[in-house]
Structure 1
């Protein structure tokens, strides 16, 4: 068992706006991910791991240039998952690193990475394990700029459409597997 807040505090000052945003967003994602694990016991997801990974999936945002969320790094925001994964690997958390690396969008595939000119090394950037899929899916329902507000299913799909139809198709597959009954009416 790890303490995600202790890990986050290694890189973020608890008095910073970036810390407040990261922790609030991660708690929202963690809450929904917990609901998914509990609603889909048939998937056999590791609840403790999902909760830890949900809290740490965005740890790399401070390394990016995203002033709207008080992050003043040099890297493009699209790389935050990869950067967070590298950080988590360096701490000895390779499984948590995979969640960070694979949660961006509805997952990224190498063809899209190349087409969009995203600076990522060869790798797998789409969620593979059930725990990776749960955190990726739950993350889509929460923005870092509208904390505490769960997006509707339609809003999630619209936000992903700007990344192409394949992103929506991948999200719809996640929804088919992991969706909660309350989302059907949203």
Structure 2
């Protein structure tokens, strides 16, 4: 049986392209998951497939990055599939573990995919460091001034306001700005308490 697996990282993203490709490849059943690929243990649909797959089955995906974010995870998944007596196929990379060439290509392509992700991460880190050296402050600008944040935190901790939404309306910001201000103040207080 050909078992298709489609994955996107967030609920806002869609799997249409993957579903169409898997259907065109002749998959008998197609599963989809809207979860990050960072942690294998937090992907219940994939784990369910892996626990139920067996001899004569082939797990089919559109691209390797839909299956795993690291070479280690990719090899772990492929080993689980192999131990169950099933095979693995990636449509974009033309990998099929039912052949010796396919097994070798899995390792090669997985290594290059991980290398590319690490390069992107390194470039991003270097870009942020360069921006900081030029005096930029990376990240989203705060919605409130330091004075407004301090006042909002005093109101909250003093019990004068018991609803964060009310505070957000008072300062004309989103509630997440109020939550971040309170969290920052609590973290600072904890650090000062720890240092004392």
Shorter-chain TM-score: which interval?
under 0.3
Higher strand share: 2
TM-score by length of 2: 0.25
Higher RCO by CA contacts (8 Å cutoff, separation 6 or greater): 1
Larger Rg: 2
Higher helix share: 1
TM-score by length of 1: 0.25
